[in-house]
Amino acid sequence: MEEKKKVMIDAGHGGTKDPGAVFEDRMEKDDTLRLALAVGRILEENGVNAVYTRSTDVYDTPYQKAEMGNEAGADYFVSLHRNAASEPGKGSGVMTLVYKTGRESEQLADSIQRELARTGYVDLGVIERPDLIVLRKTQMPAVLVEVGFIDNPEDNKRFDAQFDEIAAAVASGILNVIDDDMDRRPVEESDYYYQIQTGAYRIRSLAEQQLEELRRMGFPAFLVYDGTYFKLRVGAFKNLDNAVRMERELRKAGFPTVLLYEREVK
């Protein structure tokens, strides 16, 4: 039996020593813990081993958190935060930080960032931050996600009103990368075919919106429901070259893609 992928989820800040950014009566450490546990539950439901730097209101240094990920042998490290501006209310949106672009961590960052932007937040992109210990000292692909600005009332309103969707977006971003890794393994050609996935949603209406858009543009799209996510798939190809050509067309049309190798349904 193949070993589960392991993801270390870090709820940023913690304890009385480090509440993180504070706005009115709201503390970053509380939002990040709530989100970390929600993301972890979704990952577990999808066959991923989710582990945490903290599951209660405790403090550990960034170095200790990085070491937790290393000692656990995690495949990925995802640190969750809320942003803050120098002047309250002036910042808005989501961004994902990496130690350096051009590495495997950028693929993870891109995937999470795309999914979060679909929830309605302003997309601030993927940014290099080589000074952050949890990105520099971790031995696996690591990202730090800033989920909206805690000092912006509108970002907070979205965080609360769409909390389940936001948690699902972060989890989907992680699962997309895990699926990509798992589905590229060598397999028996006769039993498998290629598909292109363009998104995964917990909310059916969001998936159906993208499904309609894909079909309107002439792509042979359909939905796959795995019990948790409604996944957008395009095509079913025995020939890899045909699948790659379809993936290129989808990318040209502006869709994020993951090329999957799926077992044929008999």
Extract the residue ranges of the chain whose pLDDT is less than 70: 1-2, 181-192, 262-266
* Residue located via tokens 């679909």: 118
Query: What's the confidence (pLDDT) of residue 189?
Result: 42
The CATH code for residues 185-263 is: 3.30.70.1070
Burial of residue 256 (number of CB atoms within 10 Å: 0-12, 13-18, 19+): middle
Query: Domain spanning 6-179 has what CATH number?
Result: 3.40.630.40
- Tell me the pLDDT tens digit for each residue of 43-57: 998 889 999 999 999
- For the chain, the domains span 6-179, 185-263
Q: Please give the pLDDT value at position 110.
A: 94
Q: What distance, in Å, lies between the first and last C-alpha atoms of the chain?
A: 23
